[in-house]
Amino acid sequence: MIEKEIKNKKTLLQFWEEQMKHSSTSSNYFFRKSPSHYHMMLVVMSSYKLNEKLSVEGLKTRLFKTSRPKSAIMINEACEKGFFKLIKNSPDQRIKNIVPSESFLKEFENYLDTLRNIEY
């Protein structure tokens, strides 16, 4: 039992060390900058997994304890880093929906798989 726990901790530590090597491009690093960053990621991923449309304005409204200007900066930064992308797919072309990018989806699934494979 203790050997398994040590192995699992080493696996998790190796995963985090690998993430930190790529801290300038790692979504793990970016979304852990603040609780608001993490909340933003959870809201976007939840909407995506539930197949719900999420507009940029809707996301700004849902981020608690974050001003609208700060939310806009966070969303823009996530898009610039390639974690999210904006899609215009409504009759009103001013409305932009936000979805995770393909690369972020792969990184997110890799993260979840790593955590699933660690048995405690």
Q: What is the CATH number of the domain that holds 100?
A: 1.10.10.10
pTM: 0.78
Question: What tens digit of pLDDT does each residue of 12-29 get?
Answer: 777 767 766 665 667 878
Structural domain count of the chain: 1
The range of the structural domain enclosing residue 30 comes to: 2-116
User: What number of helices (H) and strands (E) belong to the chain?
Assistant: 6, 2
Question: What tens digit of pLDDT does each residue of 38-97 get?
Answer: 999 999 999 999 999 999 999 999 998 899 999 999 999 999 999 999 998 778 778 899
Greatest pairwise CA separation for the chain in angstroms: 58
d(CA 24, CA 21): 8
* The pLDDT of residue 120 is above 60: no
> pLDDT value at position 19?
65
Of the chain, the percentage scoring pLDDT greater than 70 comes to 82
